[in-house]
Structure 1
Amino acid sequence: MVRGKTQMKRIENATSRQVTFSKRRSGLLKKAFELSVLCDAEVALIVFSPRGKLYEFSNCGMQKTIDRYQRLARDVHIDSEAVEQNMQHLKCEAANMAKKIELLQISKRQLAGEDLGSCSVDELHQIESQLERSLSNIRGRKTQLSKEQIEKLKEKERVLKRENRILREKARQQPTPDGEIVPNNQIIPHADVETELSIGILERGTTRPPPQH
């Protein structure tokens, strides 16, 4: 005979309900015992009948298991509260950060000359003062960079002059074709040659001026 599927609802007949309770209770206690033996688990089972009669099973002592459960449940509750508080704190921080970002975006647009219609006279004065301070800082930085660049160029000029002086000293010490070294005081400096270049077509009847010596 095929056993029908039991519906999960309260059994209305009192006798049938009592019989079912006795059978299921015995099976439940048996399963709890098997679980504790086969899996070496700490098991505690408490069952109250419809009339209030207590049935229990514990392989490690009921009170010990209950104390352990209460301790762990309290820790879990505390952890849950800590997680909830942390979540609330993070939400508040996120909201404050979003407000700061919005204010910074508004300030950026106002410094760029946008969205000024809602600004009062005092706010416009503040924006103007901030722009003047920013411009002053930019000019100061620009001046500093220019000075540093000029100093680098001056240092480069000093290095080039020093190298040029060394090369001239070496050139004065070069031997003559007959193998003699001409002293510095006997070297004839090169004469500067002046030239005058005229670019363009000469007019008829004009002559090019002689070069000046």
Structure 2
Amino acid sequence: MTRKKIQIKKIDNIAARQVAFSKRRKGLFKKAKELAILCDAEIGLLVFSASGKLFDYASSSVQGLLEKHSSVHSENLPNLNEPSVEFQLESNIRAKLNEEVEKKRHELRQMKGEELQGLGLEELKKLEKSLLGGLSRVAEMMDGRNAELICDIGRKVDLLIEENQRLNQLKVEKMAYQTHNMQGHSSESIVNNSQDYDSSDTSLKLGLAPE
């Protein structure tokens, strides 16, 4: 059975788009790693997701590759006063990265309720939807943590009840043992008193005998 060919266009479903991005990004990085190992090549990749999250891969380091790129091409420049195409490309990449960082900072400030004056109705609705989605995920996480906390408290309460029952049982057994000992001592005291009474009675009879 032949595999169905996927049409190359933007995926409308957000969840499916995120899954496809994650899988294909991992595949891209895997291929880059294989190419670097097989061909002893130095490779660097920079990938920004739709949400602006940065993913990168480098066979050594991204910064090292950029510095090497800059040094190699600056040596081949015919005129240092005239920037090469490669230098301009590198500058454009850095400018793009700085622009993306500033954009994300601006979006973060807007999510905090700042710098909203220039937004239109549709943009405000989109921001509200994003915030509600984030709040929903936070609420789900809190519900899960609260459920775990309640279960943990329940287990501790059960352990305390069991320990209390055990202590009460020990207390009852101790009281029964003390009562048994007290009853034993009382019986011995009664027997001793009876013996003392008999001895006293005999001596009195002997004392009252007629002359």
TM-score, normalised to structure 1, is 0.41
TM-score by length of 2: 0.42
| Structure whose alpha-carbon radius of gyration is higher | 1
